[in-house]
């Protein structure tokens, strides 16, 4: 006698209880607090905010805790929450030129106004596991300098004064702000939507594509004009008041890549730009983003589209890790019905194959 | 001029009224020629029928440019009411309208003044909302097409009298075309671009 | 912390309006895939977010909802989605096909005939029937615009040349209202004929791919084929081991590792209704005994 499988509802409830138990881990070990995550796993929080498209350290920390440290799962949690939030409008464009800089480096000039500021970086650490960190280590107080009163103009602005680099497109306050989370995406997509897509894109995916462009798959000769990380003010235009109201400040990383030339018989040659921007300190992300942004400008700059990183439909359709993980993992769901249909077809084809191959032999035997 | 406070009210229960109105419109669109009722109550500006107002409150927002015919725009009531309750932009150019509200169908502009969509994006077309004299009495109109089991008969008094002849353009244009919702008080009938006139009209 | 507060049926009203407008266009242009700004739902892409958004946009307090996956009301994903709407919309749910006003499905069309007034909402992973022949959206959009479907016929014909049959057994392409070639979602081709001239409204939601499409009631839906290779349905040639049905699509159950297997209805409601009506198959328990196992 056969009884069909039942009890899925209880299975789900039990699975959730078990998940919660596993998430907590050994109860003799103190539970993680959100400030611990936010303060001590801050780059993970930055990534979740960036790819989750929501600047909220506390929620990102909660998501990381809930996701047991799985950052893509945490990004998913933040995105799903973000989708339910009401929209009040778009802020004024942030001015990264006025950033309170904590780190700023340029690989194109030895010295620049505002100076090179190494800041908090893994760059020159020797990657030797540090046993001191295993517990109870209290680091030295960092050296504190004076905040510079002089401005730190963007390297691209310095190049731009001499016309050596293409100008940044002028801001148009009346132009609608594209938002691919609110409108369906159509191809070809404009750069605003491409940049939004890249900002939300999986860091690993952009890293691989940016890397492929460096290795010759749609090479675009980049220099890291500048990478800066620090705080910028966010302002919102209050229609009633008639002026922009400051909402607070957020930490951003910006990368401007300087790439090889465009120009024509009528236009003097100049460098071209690739742009990357992310919440918090996200250098790998912004550098990869800037490489891919520049690659995706192939069509606009009259370059031949030959590599995956230049193909906007390919890049934009596959960059989102929440979409990608959902579809890859949906293969876990039952597919018995389709599989049964395939089995039926395959059995029939095999039977026909067997009959076809048997027939001549039988004929031979008869002869 | 009326103040915002004096404007006729919107739905009392926005969420559920919009849902039930949508289902009436969806059923109308899925069963062309069938009469569907709009049960939700909302205040309406003078020139607007109950059904029209409910449809507007259900489907319009700042993403849907709306065109008003001369009668709808004769007084500023309708535009102000729409703006206040739906935030829909009112446009003078009918060819970019997502919806067109027509209170005086006798003077309906030629259909090619509205958007038919493109072959790539046939959904980018204008939906006409036409207030008619009656969806209960009048000449017999027989229709066929997707959504209709064989054919369906509608008795209605519709202007312009040649509406269905004009809509015949949909056959040649498909997948481009114009979808129409006829409104008589709280009754609605949809004529999507796939519906064809068998006889009458 | 910003504690979340959710609307009736989860989606905010602006999102519902956007989806509702897309649904109306989809019905007006049968088989055409309307782009819509799919939202990020609290369940993974590929797990029914498109169907869930369509259901959320149409569902009202008077609706009775049925959710099936692989034909069954009791698979985990079906339970999960049913619970989601129970929680966010408080609607009545049922497993009885005939009692439901809205049926959300993944991979099957119920065996019991649908009736007028019902809405069948399909979860769709890849809405573009031409996608596996041409990965570019810009290209497939052009093909649909021109009604240029030669590529699909070539593919089907190549199957015949290679295997002697059209080697598509599910997500078998159809032509809707003699115009658009459409993906019926990954239903087995056994279900294709149920889409034709169906009294219920059929809506299709693809969340990740951001498309909604529809088949209005009583619309011509034809499975693509060739005169010398007509479309055929497939079901394993056996009666259901539980209810004895000879007309239903069957799941294959592997019973041991020695080649033992049995076949039972994939549509659990259909199977249970038949069993309660007294129909029996080879593996049926006696009715009282079965009850004891509850």
CA atoms within 13 A on the CB side of C249: 32
Contacts of A193 in chain C (CB under 8 A): none
Q: How far apart are CA B69 and CA B99, in angstroms?
A: 11
Identify the pLDDT of residue C294.
36
Q: Which residues of C260-280 are buried (b: 16+ CB within 10 A; e: fewer)?
A: eebbbbbbbbbbbbbbeeebb
Identify the pLDDT of residue C288.
42
Our CA-based measurement puts residue B94 at a distance from the nearest CA of chain C, in whole angstroms, of 18
Identify the pLDDT of residue C65.
97
What DSSP element (H or E) covers C107?
none
Identify the pLDDT of residue A36.
97
Residue extents of the structural domains in chain A: 12-82, 96-119+151-169+181-325
Identify the pLDDT of residue A362.
58
Query: Does residue B115 surpass a pLDDT of 70?
Result: yes
C198 is annotated as an active-site residue = no
Q: How far apart are CA C289 and CA C294, in angstroms?
A: 9
Our CA-based measurement puts residue B193 at a distance from the nearest CA of chain C, in whole angstroms, of 6
Query: Does residue B104 surpass a pLDDT of 50?
Result: yes
Q: Are the Cβ atoms of A184 and C38 closer than 8 angstroms? A: yes
Q: Which residue of C has its CA nearest to A313?
A: C136
Is the domain covering C13-223 a CATH 3.40.50.11810 domain?
A: no
Instruction: Please check whether residue B18 touches C, CB under 8 A.
Output: yes
Instruction: Please check whether residue B174 touches C, CB under 8 A.
Output: yes
Closest C-alpha among A205, A212, A172 to residue A317: A205
Find out whether A75 and A199 touch, Cβ atoms under 8 Å. Answer: no
Strands A243-262 and A270-279: antiparallel
For A253, list phi and psi in degrees, rounded to 5.
-115, 135
Contacts of C174 in chain B (CB under 8 A): none
Beta bridge partners of A249: A233
Q: Which residue of C has its CA nearest to B15?
A: C13
Extract the runs of DSSP E, i.e. beta strands, from B35-162. Answer: 36-37, 66-68, 99-102, 127-131, 140-144, 152-155
A157 burial (CB, 10 Å; 0-12 / 13-18 / 19+) is middle
Q: Identify the three-state secondary structure at position C143.
A: helix
Identify the pLDDT of residue B185.
96
Identify the pLDDT of residue A221.
82
Instruction: Tell me which residue in C39, C75, C163 faces A349 most closely, judged by beta carbons.
Output: C163
| Residue written as token pair 């050296």 | A143
Q: Choosing among B10, B14, B16, B19, which should be mutated to test the C contact, i.e. which has the most C CBs within 10 A?
A: B19
CB atoms closer than 10 angstroms to residue B148: 23
Identify the pLDDT of residue C290.
41
Our CA-based measurement puts residue A117 at a distance from the nearest CA of chain C, in whole angstroms, of 35
Q: Which residues of A275-310 are buried (b: 16+ CB within 10 A; e: fewer)?
A: bbbbbbbbbbbbbbbbbbbbbbbbeeeeeeeebbbb
Q: Regarding predicted confidence, which is higher, C75 or A283?
A: A283
Identify the pLDDT of residue B189.
98
- What is the rounded average pLDDT of the residues A339-344? 92
Instruction: Tell me which residue in C39, C76, C241 faces A12 most closely, judged by beta carbons.
Output: C76
Instruction: Please check whether residue A133 touches C, CB under 8 A.
Output: no
What phi-psi label fits residue C259: left (phi over 0), alpha (psi between -120 and 50 degrees) or beta? left
| Residue written as token pair 């249909």 | A341
Identify the pLDDT of residue A151.
76
Q: How far apart are CA B123 and CA C29, in angstroms?
A: 8
Contacts of B116 in chain C (CB under 8 A): none
Instruction: Please check whether residue A59 touches C, CB under 8 A.
Output: yes
Our CA-based measurement puts residue B159 at a distance from the nearest CA of chain C, in whole angstroms, of 22
Which ipTM was obtained for this model? Answer: 0.97
The predicted-structure confidence for C197-221, as pLDDT tens digits, reads as follows 999 999 999 999 999 999 999 999 9
Query: Does residue B35 surpass a pLDDT of 70?
Result: yes
Q: How far apart are CA C273 and CA C292, in angstroms?
A: 18
Instruction: Tell me which residue in B23, B59, B174 faces C17 most closely, judged by beta carbons.
Output: B59
Contacts of A56 in chain C (CB under 8 A): 2
Q: Are the Cβ atoms of C177 and B15 closer than 8 angstroms? A: no
What percent of chain A is modeled with pLDDT above 90? 71
| Whole-number average pLDDT of chain A | 91
Contacts of C34 in chain B (CB under 8 A): 123
Instruction: Spot the catalytic one: C207, C271, C278, C281.
Output: C271
Q: Which residue of A has its CA nearest to C7?
A: A84
Contacts of A343 in chain C (CB under 8 A): 252
SS (H, E, C) chain A: CCCCCCCHHHHHHHHHHHHHHHHHCCCCCCCCCHHHHHHHCHHHHHHHHHHHCCCCHHHHHHHHHHCCCCHHHHHHHHHHHHCCCCCCCCCCCCCHHHCEEEEEECCCCCCCCCCCECCCCCCCCCCCCCHHHHCCCCCCCCCCCCCCCCCCCCHHHHHHHCCCECCCCCCCCCCCCCCCCCCCCCCCCCHHHHHHHHHHCCHHHHHHHHHHHHCCCCCCCCEEEEEEEEEEEEEEEECCCCEEEEEEEEEEEEEEEEEEEECCCCCCCEEEEEEEEEECCCHHHHHHHHHHHHHHCCCCCCCCCCCHHHCHHHHHHHCCHHHHHHHHHHHHCCCHHHHHHHHHHHHHHHHHHHHHHHHHHHHHHHC
Q: How far apart are CA C17 and CA B63, in angstroms?
A: 10
Instruction: Tell me which residue in A9, A323, A337 faces C45 most closely, judged by beta carbons.
Output: A323
Identify the pLDDT of residue A263.
80
Q: How far is CA A48 from CA A52, A203, A210, C167, in A?
A: 5, 11, 20, 43
Most confidently modeled range among A160-164, A262-266, C65-69, C136-140? C65-69
Q: Which residue of B has its CA nearest to C143?
A: B120
User: Does the reported pTM lie above 0.95?
Assistant: no
What phi-psi label fits residue B50: left (phi over 0), alpha (psi between -120 and 50 degrees) or beta? alpha
Identify the pLDDT of residue B7.
84
Residue extents of the structural domains in chain C: 13-223, 250-293
Domains of chain B are 4-200 (3.40.50.11310)
Q: How far apart are CA A78 and CA A60, in angstroms?
A: 7
| Residue written as token pair 């990965």 | C135
Closest C-alpha among C78, C66, C12, C82 to residue C41: C12
- What is the rounded average pLDDT of the residues A134-147? 86
Instruction: Spot the catalytic one: C46, C240, C244, C294.
Output: C240
A185 burial (CB, 10 Å; 0-12 / 13-18 / 19+) is buried
Query: Does residue A1 surpass a pLDDT of 60?
Result: no
Q: A132-146, A196-210, B101-115, C122-136: which has the minimum mean pLDDT?
A: A132-146
Q: A174-178, A278-282, A357-361, C266-270: which has the minimum mean pLDDT?
A: A357-361
Identify the pLDDT of residue A2.
56
Our CA-based measurement puts residue C31 at a distance from the nearest CA of chain B, in whole angstroms, of 10
Query: Does residue A50 surpass a pLDDT of 50?
Result: yes
What phi-psi label fits residue C94: left (phi over 0), alpha (psi between -120 and 50 degrees) or beta? beta
Q: CA B142, B144, B147, B148 torsion: positive or negative?
A: positive
Instruction: Please check whether residue C64 touches B, CB under 8 A.
Output: no
Identify the pLDDT of residue C285.
60
Q: A112-116, B56-60, B156-160: which has the minimum mean pLDDT?
A: A112-116
Closest C-alpha among C57, C24, C19 to residue B125: C24
What are C180's two structure tokens? 């658009």
Contacts of A1 in chain C (CB under 8 A): 283-285, 289
What are C163's two structure tokens? 């295997």
Contacts of B51 (CB under 8 A, 6+ apart): B38, B183, B184, B185, B186, B187, B188
Q: Choosing among C12, C18, C27, which should be mutated to test the B contact, i.e. which has the most B CBs within 10 A?
A: C27
Query: Does residue B2 surpass a pLDDT of 70?
Result: no
Q: Are the Cβ atoms of B30 and C218 closer than 8 angstroms? A: no
Instruction: Please check whether residue C58 touches B, CB under 8 A.
Output: yes
| Window A:280-319, CB contacts with C under 8 Å | 313, 317
What DSSP element (H or E) covers B28?
helix B14-30
Q: How far apart are CA C40 and CA C53, in angstroms?
A: 10
Our CA-based measurement puts residue C9 at a distance from the nearest CA of chain B, in whole angstroms, of 10
Q: Are the Cβ atoms of C57 and B59 closer than 8 angstroms? A: no
Instruction: Please check whether residue C37 touches B, CB under 8 A.
Output: no
Query: Does residue C289 surpass a pLDDT of 50?
Result: no
Contacts of C208 in chain A (CB under 8 A): 323, 326-327
Q: Are the Cβ atoms of A335 and C107 closer than 8 angstroms? A: yes
Strands C119-123 and C201-206: parallel
Instruction: Please check whether residue B168 touches C, CB under 8 A.
Output: no
Instruction: Tell me which residue in A4, A76, A187 faces C137 most closely, judged by beta carbons.
Output: A187
What are A230's two structure tokens? 């620090």
Identify the pLDDT of residue B12.
86
The predicted-structure confidence for A182-235, as pLDDT tens digits, reads as follows 888 888 999 999 999 999 999 999 999 999 999 999 888 899 999 999 999 999
Identify the pLDDT of residue B40.
83
Q: Which residue of C has its CA nearest to A12?
A: C76
What are C260's two structure tokens? 């033992």
Our CA-based measurement puts residue C170 at a distance from the nearest CA of chain B, in whole angstroms, of 25
Our CA-based measurement puts residue A43 at a distance from the nearest CA of chain C, in whole angstroms, of 21
């Amino acid at each position: 006698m056969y009884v069909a499988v039942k009890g899925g509802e209880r299975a789900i409830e039990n699975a959730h209880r078990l998940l919660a138990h596993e998430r907590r881990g050994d109860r003799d070990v103190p539970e993680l607090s959100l400030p611990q995550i936010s303060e001590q796993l801050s780059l993970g929080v930055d990534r979740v905010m960036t790819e989750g498209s929501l600047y909220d350290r506390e929620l990102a920390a909660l998501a990381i805790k809930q996701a047991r440290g799985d950052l893509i799962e945490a990004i998913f949690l933040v995105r799903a929450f973000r989708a339910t939030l009401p929209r009040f409008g778009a802020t004024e464009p942030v001015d990264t030129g006025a950033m309170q800089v904590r780190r700023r480096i340029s690989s194109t000039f030895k010295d620049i106004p505002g100076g090179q500021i190494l800041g908090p970086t893994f760059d020159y650490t020797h990657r030797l596991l540090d046993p001191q960190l295993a517990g109870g280590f209290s680091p030295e107080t960092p050296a504190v300098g004076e905040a510079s009163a002089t401005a730190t103009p963007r390297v691209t602005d310095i190049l731009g004064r001499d016309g050596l680099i293409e100008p940044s497109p002028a801001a148009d306050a009346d132009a609608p702000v594209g938002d691919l989370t609110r409108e369906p995406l159509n191809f070809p997509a404009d750069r605003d939507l491409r940049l939004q897509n890249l900002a939300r894109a999986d860091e690993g995916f952009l890293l691989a594509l940016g890397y492929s462009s460096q290795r010759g798959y749609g090479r675009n000769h980049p220099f890291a004009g500048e990478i800066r990380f620090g705080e910028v003010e966010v302002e919102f235009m209050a229609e009633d008041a008639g002026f922009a109201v400051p909402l607070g400040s957020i930490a951003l990383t910006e990368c401007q890549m300087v790439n090889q030339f465009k120009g024509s018989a009528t236009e003097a040659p100049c460098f071209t730009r690739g742009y990357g921007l992310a919440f918090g300190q996200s250098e790998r992300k912004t550098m990869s983003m800037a490489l891919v942004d520049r690659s995706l400008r192939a069509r606009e700059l009259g370059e031949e589209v030959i590599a995956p990183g230049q193909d906007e439909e390919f890049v934009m359709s596959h960059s989102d890790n929440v979409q990608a993980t959902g579809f890859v993992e949906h293969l876990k769901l039952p597919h018995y019905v389709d599989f049964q249909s395939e089995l039926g077809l395959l059995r029939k084809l095999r039977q026909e194959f067997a009959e076809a191959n048997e027939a001549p032999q039988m004929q031979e035997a008869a002869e | 001029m009326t103040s915002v406070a004096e404007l006729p009210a919107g739905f009392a229960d926005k969420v559920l009224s919009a849902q039930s109105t949508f289902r009436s419109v969806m059923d109308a669109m899925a069963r062309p020629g069938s009469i569907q009722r709009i049960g939700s109550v909302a205040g309406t500006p003078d020139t607007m029928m109950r059904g029209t107002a409910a449809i507007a409150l259900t489907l319009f927002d700042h993403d849907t440019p709306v065109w008003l015919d001369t009668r709808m725009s004769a007084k500023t009531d309708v535009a102000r009411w729409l703006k206040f309750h739906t935030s829909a932009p009112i446009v003078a150019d009918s060819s970019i309208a997502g919806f067109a509200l027509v209170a005086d169908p006798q003077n309906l502009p030629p259909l090619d003044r509205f958007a038919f969509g493109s072959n790539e994006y046939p959904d980018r077309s204008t939906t006409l909302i036409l207030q008619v004299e009656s969806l209960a009495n009048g000449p017999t109109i027989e229709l066929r097409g997707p959504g209709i089991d064989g054919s369906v008969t509608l008795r209605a008094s519709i202007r312009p009298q040649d509406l269905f002849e004009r809509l015949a353009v949909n056959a040649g244009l498909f997948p481009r075309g114009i979808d129409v919702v006829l409104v008589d008080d709280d009754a609605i009938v949809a004529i999507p671009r796939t519906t064809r006139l068998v006889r009458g009209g | 912390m910003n504690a979340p507060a959710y609307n009736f049926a989860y989606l905010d009203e602006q999102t519902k309006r956007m989806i509702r407008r897309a649904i109306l266009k989809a019905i007006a242009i049968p088989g055409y895939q309307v782009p819509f700004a799919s939202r990020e739902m609290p369940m993974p892409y590929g797990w029914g977010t498109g169907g869930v958004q369509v259901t959320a946009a149409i569902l009202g307090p008077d609706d009775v909802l049925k959710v099936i996956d692989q034909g069954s009301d009791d698979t985990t994903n079906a339970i999960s989605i049913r619970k989601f709407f129970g929680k966010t919309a408080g609607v009545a749910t049922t497993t009885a096909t005939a009692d439901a006003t809205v049926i959300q499905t993944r991979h099957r069309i119920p065996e019991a005939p649908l009736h007028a007034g019902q809405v069948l909402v399909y979860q769709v992973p890849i809405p573009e029937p031409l996608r596996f022949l041409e990965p570019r959206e810009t290209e497939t959009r052009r093909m649909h615009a021109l009604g240029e479907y030669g590529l699909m016929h070539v593919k089907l014909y190549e199957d015949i040349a290679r295997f002697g049959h059209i080697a598509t057994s599910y997500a078998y392409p159809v032509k809707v209202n003699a115009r658009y070639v459409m993906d019926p979602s990954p239903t087995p081709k056994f279900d294709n004929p149920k889409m034709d001239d169906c009294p219920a409204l059929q809506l299709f939601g693809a969340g990740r791919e951001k498309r909604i499409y529809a088949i209005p009631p009583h619309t011509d839906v034809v499975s693509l084929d060739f005169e010398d290779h007509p479309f055929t349905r497939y079901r394993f040639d056996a009666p259901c081991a539980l209810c004895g049905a000879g007309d239903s699509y069957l799941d294959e159950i592997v019973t041991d590792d020695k080649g033992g297997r049995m076949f039972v209805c994939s549509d659990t409601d259909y199977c249970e209704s038949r069993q309660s009506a007294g129909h029996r198959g080879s593996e049926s328990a006696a009715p009282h005994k079965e009850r004891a196992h509850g």
